[in-house]
Every structure is written in C-alpha cells, then in structure tokens.
C-alpha cells in the first residue's frame, strides 16, 4: 500500500481485495482520484466517479461491485460515461462473479459466507435471488 494510514473501506470486500494486493506485493491506492462525469448548466460538477483502487504499476483503476443489482446498473452507467469522457484512463469493473472467482481461487469461501451473512445478501455467494 502506498498511503501512510490505512484507508476506511466502504465495504469488507474492498478490504479483502487490498489484503490480496498486499500479500502479493501489488502497490495500490484506495480511491485516489475522482473523475467528474456530469455537470449542470453553470458548469458545476453534479456527478462523479471515484474508482475503488488504482494500481500504479500497471496504470489501472479497479471498481468493485459485489452486492446490489441497482448499484451495478448505476456503476455501469458511470463507467460508460467515464470511458467516453476519459478514454485514456483504464478502468476494470469487478462484478460479484469476478470477486467470487477470486475468493474461490484463494480459498476464501469463509469470507464470502461471512460477508453475505453480514449483509443479508446472496450476491457474493451466487445463491438466492441475486444470482444470474
């Protein structure tokens, strides 16, 4: 990690991804940049996009979306605007299935179960109404 003090993650899945980055020695920054994507008639920013992680060694932003489908749609919309306005900026959106695959790969089924139970959601585990 590049910052001096540990960040306050918005979700446990972000903290877990940061632990994986740290374990493998991947430098990262948490929400280091905010990209304006919508302005009002006066030119004031009314909507922006702040990807969760930046990996400076490969110049890539990562946005993690693991729970509510409504948030996935919103983030997909923001990402489309981001790509139109900032085509030189590389952003990868990690969906619940991507995060689930990562947790399976690293033997973290316990984490998936704990987070799903804590949130009363099944999107991370692939069970229930949230699975596709």
36-53 per-position pLDDT tens digit: 999 999 999 999 999 999
Residue 41 falls inside a structural domain:
yes
The CA distance from 125 to 117, in Å, is 10
Q: How does strand 60-64 pair with strand 91-94? A: parallel
List the CATH number of the domain containing 36.
Answer: 3.40.960.10
Residue 3 falls inside a structural domain:
no
Q: Give yes or no for residue 88 having a pLDDT over 70.
A: yes
Domain that holds residue 57: 12-130
Residue 7 falls inside a structural domain:
no
Q: List beta partners, residue 24.
A: none
Query: Taking all residues of the chain, what is their mean pLDDT, rounded to a whole number?
Result: 82
Residue 124 falls inside a structural domain:
yes
Tokens (6 digits) for 87? 């085509």
What's the structural domain count of the chain? 1
1-17 per-position pLDDT tens digit: 554 677 999 888 899 89
Residues in CB range of 44: below 8 A, 6 or more apart: none
């Amino acid at each position: 990690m590049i910052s001096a003090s540990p960040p306050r993650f918005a979700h446990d899945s972000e903290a877990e991804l940061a632990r994986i980055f740290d374990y493998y020695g991947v430098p990262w920054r948490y929400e280091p940049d905010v990209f304006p994507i919508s302005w009002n008639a006066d030119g004031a920013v009314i909507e922006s996009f702040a990807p969760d992680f930046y990996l400076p060694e490969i110049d890539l932003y990562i946005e993690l979306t693991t729970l509510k489908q409504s948030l996935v749609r919103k983030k997909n919309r923001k990402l489309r605007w981001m790509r139109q306005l900032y085509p030189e900026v590389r952003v990868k959106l990690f969906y619940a299935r991507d995060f689930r695959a990562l947790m399976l790969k690293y033997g973290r089924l316990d984490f998936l179960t704990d987070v799903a139970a804590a949130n009363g959601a099944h999107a991370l585990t692939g069970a229930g109404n949230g699975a596709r």
